[in-house]
Structure 1
Amino acid sequence: MGEALTFVSSHFIALWTETLLYGSYTALYAICMHVLLDRRRHRFAENTPMITMASGLFLLGTAHVIVNFARGIQAFTVVENTPREVYSAFGTPISVAKQSIYTSTVILSDSLLIFRCYTVWGQNWKVILVPVVLLVLGGTTGFVTVYQFTVVEPGNEDGVYTGSLKSWATAAYGFSLAANVLVTSLIAWRIWRHTRRVRAIVEGVEKARYDRALAMVIESGAIYSLSLTIMLIMYTLNTHGQRIVYDALSQIAGIMPTLIIVRIGLGVNAHNTAEDTSHTLRFAHSTTTTTTLHSPAVQSARSGTTQTNDDATIAYDDPQASNISLHPPLKASHSTCRSLIKRSDAGSGSGDSSYA
């Protein structure tokens, strides 16, 4: 291993990096709660699962940074211990707690992404079957890895790169990466399919908005997957720098799902610009008269009702109800839109067109 970054300095830089990310995460979480609890946008009960998971991720991120601080205090302020002795004691309770918190964070973060995919695909459990298997395998190998840390000889700073510990850790990172790449691809594919349908009905700014929605999902999923890839490569190469990415991932794993929730709730596009007020990316249950490009069969022709989802939907204000002129205008009337989308759904063999 190279000596440019030492064993102790990698832990110090990792603590500093995680602290910066945690500060950003705290602000993002506050915004997320404001969005989810805003009664003007949607009902509280419908967002309880998202509130619970977002809060769980934030609590785990907080616990991880606290444990990291506690180890830093032990390493740099307790006279009878040297930093190397503290950080190379992988089997101590505080070290095991740190590994357990990270593993739990990854499981919850991946679960939230899979739940989002499940919603986007119209609650089709077959779509998420493989991701769920990868989630279970990743969680199992992750906690086996935590146990493997307890048997590393104290003082052996390279013990994490050898033996069964490295095999289990590599497997855990690999399963998590595979699950994230697969689920992000499924969500992107689903939105892309509906983008093609909508382009036949909506032009101009609406087309751009769908493109940005697709970019949002890809960007958000790619950040965590890319970080995990870097982490896996650096760990495989036995470099001390992997600890910096490892601690950062404990915050990134919570930041990315929370960011998706905030961006959808606030109607912000992939380039951080607000949408026009007459065309808003909203959570379900808009208070205005809407034509929702959403199914099961977008509008139910038999009951004359509009069905929505707990996840986000694209809603268009009714110009006849609000006297708002849409620029550019829709290419077809609302009734025609219903007919076209139903016909599209029937032709594709899909009974649901929900997406986030």
Structure 2
Amino acid sequence: MDLFVLQSLLIQRGKQLTLFLLGFYVLLFSLSVYFVCTRQTNAKRKLHLGWMITLFILSFSSALLHMGTTIHIAILGFQVATTQDLNPLLDWTSPSNVADKALGLVFYILYILANCIADMILLYRCFVLWNSMRPIFIVALVILFLTNVTGFIRVVLLHTLPAVHLQTLSMIHLAYFIANAINTTLLTLATAGQIWWSSREARRLLGHEVDRRYKRVVAMVIESGFLYTASLVAEVSVSQSASSLGFELELFPLVALMAGIAPTLIILRSSLGSSESAVPDSRIISSLRFGGPPPVEASQGSEVCTVDIQFDPVNEGGDLEAPKIERDDAAARV
């Protein structure tokens, strides 16, 4: 009886968390669309809107379909308790049930596609940060491609293999989630590390204020990336602990939602001005001028961060005037 109470409590809390994240994602998506449309240039706006809308449709639909099937099973269980007829529940959960299997294929494919978009966003940021280094980009692209192919293989096997091979499908499912967690962690750390390394000169020359700004940028990237990784780790841990718990706690809707929430959160915070660019220029040329001539214009294709510091000894009130700092950030990209 205690196990039944624990199972009911955990499942109920899981459903409540899923509903909360569904509502949170709707609000996050609405705010992101508004601020992207009002605060970004046309090129960034089209790119980010395309990412966010696609992610929202895929992630939200996947989580909603999975939750719908879970609610349907709960309704069948309630009918069993009231009518003492097990046949409807057994028919639905039977491996030969085509409708249940088709719904499982649909929400899993939607999740894989959402994960592909999330990987594309992280890979794009790394590509921009690392000065478009082709070897690193190609290796990362191949790894992400093979990872998502593993997910599609699981979908094909789920449709073709008989029920006796469910253990094999479960292992492929876990391998896919573990690979996703590793890929997301590595790409997140590569992005945050390159931001920190590229900003070292600006932080050294401009002091604590700029240092705090870049710390916020790095923290933003790490927090958003690790949200998705944490959900993947939780799903794998719960799946592996199902035998010891005595029941299975399904966290797949949370993973599907986090695949869309994490990248959307980065785009929103960038649009709100947490940073001028979520992916700052990887080459920073800093020039200090003390009342000197204007800096030489950068050649085409270079990225320049010009810092003008001018001192006026005494203003009209007789007080020392604070240094004037002018910044010209060229080719800012997100």
TM-score interval for Structure 1 and Structure 2 normalised by the shorter chain: 0.7 to 0.9
**Kept in 1: contact 2:59–2:257 (CA 8 A):** yes
- 1:202: which partner in 2? 206
Pick aligned residue for 2:281 from 294, 314, 325: 294
Corresponding residue of 1:323: none
Identity across matched positions, percent: 21
Q: 1:100 to 1:13 in 2, by over 3 A?
A: farther
The DSSP-based 3-state class of the residue aligned with 1:181 is: helix
Equivalence map 1:166-181=2 (5 Å): 166-181=170-185
- Report the more deviating stretch, 21-30 or 203-212: 203-212
Residues 328/135 of structure 1: CA separation in 2 closer, same or farther (3 Å cut): farther
In the alignment, structure 2 segments of 5+ residues that lack a partner are 80-84, 288-294, 312-320
Q: Which position in structure 2 is the counterpart of 1:190?
A: 194
Structure with higher Rg: it is: 2
Q: Which residue does 2:19 correspond to in 1? A: 19
* Post-superposition offset of 1:3: 4.6
Whether the 8 Å contact between 1:137 and 1:172 is mirrored in structure 2 is no
- Tell me what 1:282 maps to: 276
- C-alpha distance in 2 between matches for 1:299 and 1:34: 34
Residue 316 of structure 2 corresponds to none
Q: Which residues of structure 1 form unaligned runs of 5+?
A: 269-280, 285-292, 321-326, 342-351
Aligned counterpart in structure 2 of residue 74 of structure 1, from 72, 86, 93: 72
1:183 shift after superposition: 0.5
CA distance 1:107–1:11, shift in 2 (3 Å):
farther
Report the equivalent of 1:263.
269
Could you tell me the TM-score, scaled by structure 1's length? 0.70
CA distance in 2 between partners of 1:37 and 1:232 (Å): 37
* 1:217 counterpart = 2:221: yes
- What secondary structure sits across from 1:127 in the alignment? helix
Do structure 1's residue 100 and structure 2's residue 109 form an aligned pair? yes
Select between 229-238 and 293-302 the one with higher mean Cα deviation. Answer: 293-302
Q: SS where residue 282 of structure 1 aligns?
A: coil
CA distance in 2, matches of 1:87, 1:17: 24
Indicate yes or no: 2:236 matched with 1:232. yes
Do structure 1's residue 61 and structure 2's residue 55 form an aligned pair?
no
- The secondary structure found in structure 1 opposite 2:276 is strand
CA distance in 1, matches of 2:272, 2:194: 22
Change (3 A) 1:295 1:181: closer
From 241, 247, 250, the counterpart of 2:256? 250
Per residue, is there more helix in 1 or in 2? 2
Equivalent position amino acid for 2:268 in 1 = V
1:305 CA displacement: 7.2
Inter-partner Cα distance in structure 2 for 1:316 and 1:82:
72
Name the residue aligned to 2:292. Answer: none
Deviation at 1:133, TM superposition (A): 1.9
- Secondary structure of 1:234's match? helix
Deviates more, 1:296-305 or 1:238-247: 296-305
1:21-65 Cα offsets, whole Å, 9 max, x none, are: 111011111111112111xx3322333222111111100122123
Q: 1:99 to 1:187 in 2, by over 3 A?
A: same
Distance 1:135 1:304, change over 3 A: closer
| Equivalence for 1:42 | 40
Equivalent residue in structure 2 for 1:134, among 117, 124, 143:
143
Q: Which residue identity does 2:176 align to in structure 1? A: A
Q: Residue 273 of structure 1 aligns with which residue? A: none
Conserved in 2, the CA contact under 8 Å of 1:231 and 1:242? no
Q: CA 1:137–1:149 in structure 2 vs 1: closer, same or farther (change >3 Å)?
A: same
Deviates more, 1:193-202 or 1:53-62: 193-202
Q: Deviations over 1:291-340 (max 9, x none)?
A: xx83656589764579799xxx99989999xxxxxx9957xx76xx99xx
CA separation of 1:329 and 1:259: change in aligned 2, threshold 3 A: farther
RMSD (Å), alpha carbons: 4.1
Contact 1:121 1:355 in 2 (8 A): no
Instruction: Give 1:33's aligned residue.
Output: 33
Offset at residue 14 of structure 1 (A): 4.2
